[in-house]
Amino acid sequence: MPTRPDGHDPAGRVSAIRCLRIRGRYTTKGASERVMVMLDLFHLPERENKFNQNPFPHYVMIEPTRDPERWLMLDPDFRWEGELPRDLILNAIAQPSVAGGYRYDASCARPPEDAALREVFLAGFRPDANPLTEATRGLVAAHLAPGAPWPPAALERELSELPVLAIRKYAYEHAFAFFWRALGFSFEEFDGWCDEVEALNQGFRGLHYAAVKLARGGDRVGDRAEAAAVLAQLDALDALEFRVKAALGGYFDRWCAFSFPGSGPIAASPGGANAFGAE
Sorting pLDDT into bands at 50, 70 and 90, what band is 11?
A: very low
Task: Please indicate, yes or no, whether residues 103 and 129 belong to a single structural domain of this protein.
Answer: no
User: How many whole angstroms separate alpha carbon 84 and alpha carbon 164?
Assistant: 24
Do 102 and 5 form a contact (C-beta atoms < 8 A)?
yes
- Please give the full DSSP string across 254-266, using - where no structure is assigned: HHHHHHSTT----
Do 230 and 196 form a contact (C-beta atoms < 8 A)?
no
Q: Which domain holds residue 183?
A: 114-259
Alpha helices in the chain (DSSP H): 16-26, 86-93, 114-124, 131-144, 155-158, 162-166, 171-183, 187-216, 223-259
Do 109 and 1 form a contact (C-beta atoms < 8 A)?
yes
Query: Is the predicted pLDDT of residue 70 greater than 80, yes or no?
Result: yes
Residue 271 falls inside a structural domain: no
Query: Is the predicted pLDDT of residue 249 greater than 50, yes or no?
Result: yes
Mean pLDDT of the chain: 81
Task: Render pLDDT for 145-200 as a digit per residue (tens, 0 to 9).
Answer: 777 788 888 888 899 889 888 988 999 999 999 999 999 999 999 999 999 999 99
Higher pLDDT, 52 or 121: 121
Residue 279 falls inside a structural domain: no
Task: Please indicate, yes or no, whether residues 197 and 156 belong to a single structural domain of this protein.
Answer: yes
**How many domains is the chain partitioned into structurally?**
2
* pTM check: above 0.95: no
Query: Of 57, 81, 108, which closes a domain?
Result: 108
